Amino acid sequence: MNDVLIKFILSAGTLLIVFGIAGLLTWVERKQSALMQDRIGANRATIFGFKAMGLFHIFADVLKMLSKEEFIPEGANKFLFNLAPYLSITFALVGFAAIPIGGELVLNGHAIQLQAANLNIALIYIFAMMSMGIYGVVLAGFSSNNNYAFLGGIRGAAQMISYEITMAAAITGVIMVFNTLDLQMLDRAQGAYMFGGWIPKWGVFVQPLSFLLFLTAAAAETKRIPFDLPEGESEIIGYFVEYSGMKFGMFFMADLVETVLVAALMTTLFLGGWQVPYLHPDGFYFPWGGHMALSNLPVVILGVLSFFIKVSFFIWTLMAVRWTFPRFRYDQLMNLGWKILLPASLVNIAITAVVIIFLR
């Protein structure tokens, strides 16, 4: 009973946090792009004269989406048309279940892993869910009885399948180094240190090439500029061209949730997840010889904090990329995916294998 309750609280908490971050991202996106382009950004929505730096635009957006007409085009497959946005957002959200947001919290003698679902194949599970997310895109394009939407759906399917292969191949290197698919174990393994204890054994330090490849492929997976070919605002508007109201809002949210998911995944795989440099389960051990004892609770809180700081950093990077680069052409996209990223990730696997055997 207790276990069920704990799991319930954990998953509800994760869901709330993710929704909160994704909602906040609409604001972050506006403000960050504004700052990058020397503008002020959205600041007109007020409540009783308070602007709160434009934060109320989030509520204004939701109100707008909810009050719009839900339009279903003639000749559309109603069932699939209504199903698609739910698929999109659901599969983006369930991926978070396997992401550890913190270490081991000891409560009344209970050891609780701060992870909604403690899977030993977490990584494969997340990848499976991300692949399922393609169905949302494909079905939306297929069911709306619109050529542009159809084109967007096809593009989306082709792009996401090609980049998924690269993604999986890129993290194979990380899996080989840490020898596990369990993300909690993977985070724990990244708590080791290299070079006399100065540099933590994070994925980004042991697998830099894999990190770059994964960053690129993951950016493509979020379907945002420079990889927004399924959407392509200026050419085909994309797979959700026929959607309006909150169903469009769901696709919009799914993109942002995926951005958070990708950022969280990169944090977990490459930046040690909830690891804080030099923080061990019983306090700080500095490489220059200092020691600062800490009990379990502050250590866990620090870990969760560090996880979210790293996630914010990756979200910031993804946003900066989105607002800096122009969109790829379709053939460039496929060239990049199949001719550069995939071979590079295969080479990375080979090199990693050789190095591991040598170090044995």
325 binds another protein, rule: CB under 8 A? yes
What is the distance between the alpha carbons of residues 115 and 279, in angstroms, rounded to a whole number? Answer: 20
Residue from 28, 34, 209, 351 in contact with another protein (CB under 8 A)? 34
Question: Per CB under 8 A, does 339 bind another protein?
Answer: no
267 binds another protein (CB under 8 A): no
Instruction: Please give the residues from 169 up to 198 whose contact with another protein meets the rule CB under 8 A.
Output: none
Contact pick of 9, 36, 47, 353 for another protein (by CB under 8 A): 36
Is 103 within 8 Å of 300 (Cβ atoms)?
Answer: yes
Segment interacting with another protein, rule: CB under 8 A, options 116-124, 153-161, 320-328, 348-356: 320-328
Identified binder of another protein from the candidate list 205, 308, 313, 323, rule CB under 8 A: 323
Among 35, 161, 297, 354, binds another protein (CB under 8 A): 35
Contacts of 264 (CB under 8 A, 6+ apart): 96, 99, 307, 311, 314
State the burial class of residue 12 (Cβ atoms within 10 Å of its Cβ: 0-12, 13-18, 19+): exposed
Q: Binder to another protein among 20, 39, 147, 233 (CB under 8 A)?
A: 39
If 0-12 CB within 10 Å is exposed, 13-18 middle and 19+ buried, where does residue 37 land?
Answer: exposed
- Are residues 101 and 114 in contact, defined by beta-carbon separation less than 8 angstroms? yes
φ/ψ region of 179 (left if φ > 0, alpha if ψ in -120 to 50, else beta) reads: left
* Residues 328 and 229 sit within 8 Å (Cβ to Cβ): yes
Closer by beta carbon to another protein, 205 or else 323: 323
**One of 320, 350, 353, 356 touching another protein (CB under 8 A):** 320
Q: Determine which residue in the list 14, 32, 115, 180 makes contact with another protein, applying CB under 8 A.
A: 32
Kindly tell me which of 36 and 63 has the beta carbon lying closer to another protein.
36
Q: Are 319 and 29 in contact (CB under 8 A)?
A: yes
- Note whether 49 binds another protein by CB under 8 A: no
Question: Which residue lies nearer to another protein by CB, 184 or 222?
Answer: 222
Residue 50 interacts with another protein (CB under 8 A): yes or no: no
Count CB atoms within 10 A of the CB of residue 52: 12
Site for another protein in 1-30 (CB under 8 A): none
Interface region with another protein, contact rule CB under 8 A, candidates 34-42, 151-159, 167-175, 283-291: 34-42
Q: Are 84 and 136 in contact (CB under 8 A)?
A: yes
- Determine, following the binding rule CB under 8 A, whether residue 58 of this chain makes contact with another protein: no
Query: Could you tell me the smallest distance in angstroms from the CB atom of residue 106 to another protein?
Result: 39
Site size toward another protein (CB under 8 A) is 14
Residue 223 CB-half CA count within 13 A? 35
Distance of CA 68 to the CA centre of its chain: 29
Query: For the purposes of burial, counting CB atoms within 10 Å of the CB of 158, is it exposed (0-12), middle (13-18) or buried (19 or more)?
Result: middle
What character string, x for contact with another protein (CB under 8 A) and - otherwise, covers 278-317?
----------------------------------------
**Shortest Å distance, C-beta 324 to another protein:** 5
CA atoms within 13 A on the CB side of 102: 20
Q: Which residues bind another protein (CB under 8 A)?
A: 32, 34-40, 43, 320-321, 323-325
